[in-house]
Structure 1
Amino acid sequence: MTTPVIELRGVSRRYDDGPPALDDVSLTVRPGEAVAILGPSGSGKSTLLNLVAGLDRPDTGTVTVDGVRVDGLGEAGSALYRRSKIGMVFQFFNLLDDLTVADNVILPARLSGTARGEAARRAAELLELLGIDRHARAYPGRLSGGERQRVAVARALMNRPPLLLADEPTGALDAAAGQDVSGLLTRLNAEGQTIVVVTHDLALARACTRRTVRIADGRIAEDVRPHVAAPEATR
């Protein structure tokens, strides 16, 4: 059986004396899946994202991503994990305004020790793939919201991560740009990229994922997988 990209087992996380943000959550995501994590504010979906990203640790349970026990990593190990195993796309892009588009995309590879020439070639490939190569020398502030999110996706894919995490990736975009980014995520998944989208937007989930996981009060309330029709009987 294929090794999961994400495997959470009995994960719980509590902050202060309040109710648990996550309460005994188990979740498996296989390679090539596109999964939407749905839920209102306070449901626990952001906590789940932070645990998978290695930005937080569970109180109980285990978090494994592409064979790495994320919950057991120290600070240096977590940073290396994020550079090599995941790409992250945020609602507000998180681009560096004083770097060009190309240099924003190259940055993760340089932090990982990739030679500049090799990193520049990879960045050029990604910018062309995502249709924004003409903006390579521009600064992010000159681009539209949709274009900046494409740059953010290119940056997230720079180190060829097995997992792409998208946190409300269309939340700061108008409807047209949101549909553009949604279509991009759909295309990337069709090409084999494993994607997890954390959102409260059901329309986005329906547009670019085929499996939806609803979280309520820190627990998985529903896990809807694509329906596969049974093969017809041979006559």
Structure 2
Amino acid sequence: MTTPVIELRGVSRRYDDGPPALHEASLTVQPGEAVAILGPSGSGKSTLLNLIAGLDRPDTGTVTVDGVRVDRLGEAGSALYRRSKVGMVFQFFNLLDDLTVTDNVVLPARLAGMARAEADRRAAELLELLGIDRHARAYPGRLSGGERQRVAVARALMNRPTLLLADEPTGALDTAAGQDVSRLLTGLNAEGQTIVVVTHDLALARSCTNRTVRIADGRITEDLGSQAVASDAVASQAAR
């Protein structure tokens, strides 16, 4: 039987005295899946992503990613885990404007101890793969939003992560650039990359994932395969 890439069991997280941001969530993601986590603002989807990424810890339950008990890691262990197991793509890119595209991409590898020459070779391969090698010496501020997101994806893939996490990856992009990033994620998944995308955009979920998990009020309410997602989208458009 295949070992899951992600396994959450009975995970809850509460902040201060408010209601739980996440309540007894259980989720399993297999290698090669592309999963969308859908829900409105405040539903708990970002909390779920942060727990998987090791940026936060649950109050109860267990979080296991690629055999690592993420909920048990200390600060140093969490940093090492993110460098070796997880690539992250954010809505607003989080690129360093005073570094070139290449220097942004190689940064995770350099932090992981990779030699500069090897890191440069890996970065060049990724930039060519993602169609932005002509911008290798440019600075992020001179690129379009879609190009900057491609740089962010290259950086996320630098250390060959088991898992790619994307937090609203098209949220800051226009429609054309968003579709471009969607096709990019689809292509990466077709090559075997396990992907989890957090979004409120049903169109993005439909186009680049094969499974959708819905969250409302901190609870996982639905877990839909690709056919159900497509039917849901058709129904939503018909209702407009």
TM range (shorter): over 0.9
Q: Distance in 2 between matches of 1:226 and 1:110?
A: 38
Matched, 1:22 2:19: no
Partner of 2:11: 11
Residue in 1 aligned with 2:175?
Answer: 175
Amino acid at match of 1:198: V
Amino acid at match of 2:202: L
Q: Give the equivalent residue in structure 1 for 2:152.
A: 152
Per the alignment, in what secondary structure is the counterpart of residue 224 of structure 1? Answer: strand
**How far is the alpha carbon of 1:225 from its aligned partner?**
1.9
Q: CA deviation at 1:180?
A: 0.3
Following superposition, the deviation at residue 227 of structure 1 comes to 5.3
Q: Distance in 1 between matches of 2:18 and 2:110?
A: 41
The residue correspondences of 1:1-235 to structure 2 (distance < 5 A) are 1-226=1-226
TM-score w.r.t. the length of structure 1 is 0.96
Give the root-mean-square deviation of aligned CA atoms.
0.9
- 1-side partners of 2:222 and 2:204: how far apart? 17
Contact 2:206 2:226 in 1 (8 A): no
Q: Distance in 2 between matches of 1:59 and 1:89?
A: 26
**Tell me, what secondary structure is at the counterpart of 2:36?**
strand
Q: Which residue of 1 aligns with 2:233?
A: none
C-alpha displacement of 1:226: 3.7
In structure 2, what is the Cα distance between the partners aligned to 1:83 and 1:7?
A: 19
Which 5+ residue runs of structure 1 have no aligned equivalent?
229-235
The residue identity in structure 2 corresponding to 1:25 is A
Residue type of the partner of 1:68?
V
Q: Distance in 2 between matches of 1:2 and 1:95?
A: 35
Q: Which amino acid is the alignment partner of residue 80 of structure 2?
A: L
Task: Give the whole-Å Cα distance in 2 for the aligned partners of 1:67 and 1:171.
Answer: 31
Q: Distance in 1 between matches of 2:226 and 2:210?
A: 6
Identity %: 89
Matching residue's letter, 2:25: V
The 2-side partners of 1:85 and 1:78 are apart by 10
- Deviation, 1:125, is 0.2
Structure 2 unpaired stretches of 5+: 229-240
Aligned residues: 228
Distance 1:93 1:67 in 2: 28
Distance between the aligned counterparts of 2:178 and 2:77, measured in 1? 34
Does the CA contact (< 8 Å) of 2:209 and 2:226 recur in 1?
no
SS at match of 2:98: coil
The one-letter amino acid of 1:202's match is L
Residues of 1 paired with 2:63 and 2:135: CA distance? 38
Give 3-state SS (helix, strand or coil) of 1:196's partner: strand
For 1:98, what is the secondary structure of its paired residue?
A: coil
CA shift digits 1:36-57 (9 cap, x unpaired) = 0000001000000000010100
Matched letter for residue 123 of structure 1: A
Structure 2 Cα separation of the partners of residues 192 and 162 of structure 1: 10
CA distance in 1, matches of 2:102, 2:76: 26
TM value normalised by structure 2: 0.94
How far apart are 1:70 and its partner, in Å? 0.3
Equivalent position of 1:231 in the other structure: none
Q: In 1, distance between residues paired with 2:98 and 2:2?
A: 42
For the residue of structure 1 that corresponds to 2:11, the secondary structure is: strand
The one-letter amino acid of 1:194's match is T
